[in-house]
Structure 1
Amino acid sequence: MEATNCEVVSDSLSQTSKDNGTSSSGSSNGNEALKYQGRKTSRANSEQRRRIILEAALRIVVRDGVRGVRHRAVAREAEVPLSATTYYFKDISDLITDTFTLFVEMGAEKFKAFWEESDSKLQEALALLGGQDSASLSQEVRLVFVERMVDLAVHYIVTQLRDHRDYLIAERSFQLECLRNENLRPVAFNHQSYLLNSLESFFRRVGSEKPDIDAQLFSAVIMQVEYQCMVQPGDEPDTGLIRSRLMRQISLMLVG
């Protein structure tokens, strides 16, 4: 299982970032640019070593939590000299902040890729509206529309739980650390914005009177369902639980 952790966090997310051309200075999703705190690099081999260190720190976050990130532990995990970690990051705060920044940057591209892949299903569901908002549709059409939305949301959550469980663990570790470390809060705001902006855009398209509030409420439901499924015994997500929670929430938002 531990080897899988390393693969998911360090290989899968890392490859997503490279495939999508993610830079270390910002994001293309319309949010505030992500900024790294550690020593800036100008040479390719230096940037590669810096990246190796951050990915090692991210694996430690998944395995041991944010408090497990220490210079010696990261150097050992990354298989680099201790002097390398202290060269790029003058203190632990910078190392943790930049690890979270890398996590958000890579996760944003993964999230963007999911929505691009799901766009055809979303367009099919929106076509049911025929230019109307959901409240103006017949009960039968509204029900079909809600079912399509639930299918899409369940697919997203189950994919997260099955294929990106370590991403979710790291996400919650960083969220908890934000309560103690105010330097992480601007990064957390960026991370939250990727999901909220997409959800708000969706609720606006289906005629929600309060798309920003609906986005926040639905995001909270997703987070709670993911957490509950992660702490329950068993390896497979409880799709019945996921579907029932999302059906109730989406029905209230889109049907009233």
Structure 2
Amino acid sequence: MSTAQVNRRSKGEKTRLKILHAAIEIIAEYGIKGTTHRAVAAKANTQLSLTTYYFKDIKELVREAITLSSDIILNSTQDEWHQVFTLLKSFDAVTLRKISVKEAICKELSQIAADHMYRNIINNRTTLAVEQVFFTEMLYSEELKDLAKEHINALLIPFTRFASFFNKVDPEIDGELMLIAITRLQYKYLGTPKDEVNSEELHKLIKRQISWIMGLKRQ
């Protein structure tokens, strides 16, 4: 492939990605039904003909934008989950059952989770809003149900793994309850001005949730 061909492909990929990010913003603001080629083109500050060139069908554009948004959300938690599991695996099973150890772990994990959630609420409101729209509108869209299921399953995997350190019987249930609680907590703050997001309240609520999963009394 020539240099000119590579440059053309690179430019085309950048344009396509720009359109997808614009679509994510439109979905967050107007919902899936309010997402049109014209609205996306205006948000991307590009020609309408380019959006229809790269995505001839609006359903294709919406689907790929939601897929990209899902990837962004999932990738944003990788470092934090790595910290969580590195910490948990540093203890053997016997030590991990000690109350004093679990209390210390709970304190550290609560801080990791609260810091991540605060940053997410402040910096990633658009993708959180898209996720909320996605979960709401998937009930009425056969085209998106498979994407929703994939996204939920991917979100659930690390929560279930975390719960399995403390519940060997049915960690899937604990993991799902924790995911629901934390997701709901993030959505709660979407309409709150950034300077009014209460990081201390976040930390307190998350610590209560983690301590429950770990089998500790109220923390």
Q: Compute the TM-score of the two structures, normalised by the length of structure 1.
A: 0.71
Runs of 4+ in 1 over 4 A off after TM superposition: none
Q: Does the CA contact (< 8 Å) of 2:24 and 2:126 recur in 1?
A: no
Q: Please tell me the residue identity of whatever aligns with 1:155.
A: D
Partner of 1:250: 210
**Does residue 170 in structure 1 map to residue 136 in structure 2?**
no
Residue 123 of structure 1: which of 86, 90, 94 is its match?
86
Cα deviation, residue 220, structure 1: 0.5
| Cα pair distance change 1:44/1:140, threshold 3 Å | closer
- Mark the CA change 1:79 to 1:167 in structure 2 (over 3 Å): closer, same or farther: same
Gap change, CA 1:248 and 1:89, over 3 Å in 2: same
Q: CA deviation at 1:47?
A: 2.9
1:182 aligns with 2:145: no
Report the RMSD for the aligned CA atoms in angstroms: 2.6
Identify which of 32, 35, 51 aligns with 1:69.
Answer: 35
Q: Cα 1:149–1:106, aligned 2, differ >3 Å: closer, same or farther?
A: closer
Say whether 1:57 aligns with 2:20.
Answer: no
**Maintained 8 Å contact 2:95/2:101:** no
- For the 8 Å contact 2:166–2:213, the answer to whether it is kept is no
Match of 1:199 among 156, 159, 165: 159
Uncovered stretches (5+) of structure 1, i.e. residues with no partner: 1-41
Which residue number in structure 2 is paired with residue 141 of structure 1?
Answer: 101
How far the C-alpha of 1:133 sits from its partner, in A, is: 7.2
Report the Cα distance in structure 2 between the residues aligned to 1:69 and 1:150, rounded to whole angstroms: 37
What is the TM-score with the length of structure 2 in the denominator? 0.81
Provide the aligned length of Structure 1 versus Structure 2.
209
Q: Report the alpha carbon displacement of residue 218 of structure 1 after superposing the two structures with TM.
A: 0.4
SS in 1 for 2:197: coil
Structure 2: gaps spanning 5 or more residues: 1-7
Q: Which is helix-richer, 1 or 2?
A: 2
Q: Deviations over 1:139-194 (max 9, x none)?
A: 33332222222222212211211222222122212222212222112222222233
1:166 to 1:133, Cα distance in 2 relative to 1, 3 A: farther
Q: Structure 1 residue 219 and structure 2 residue 179: aligned?
A: yes
Identity of aligned residues (%): 28
Confirm or deny: 8 A CA contact 2:117 2:186 kept in the other structure: yes
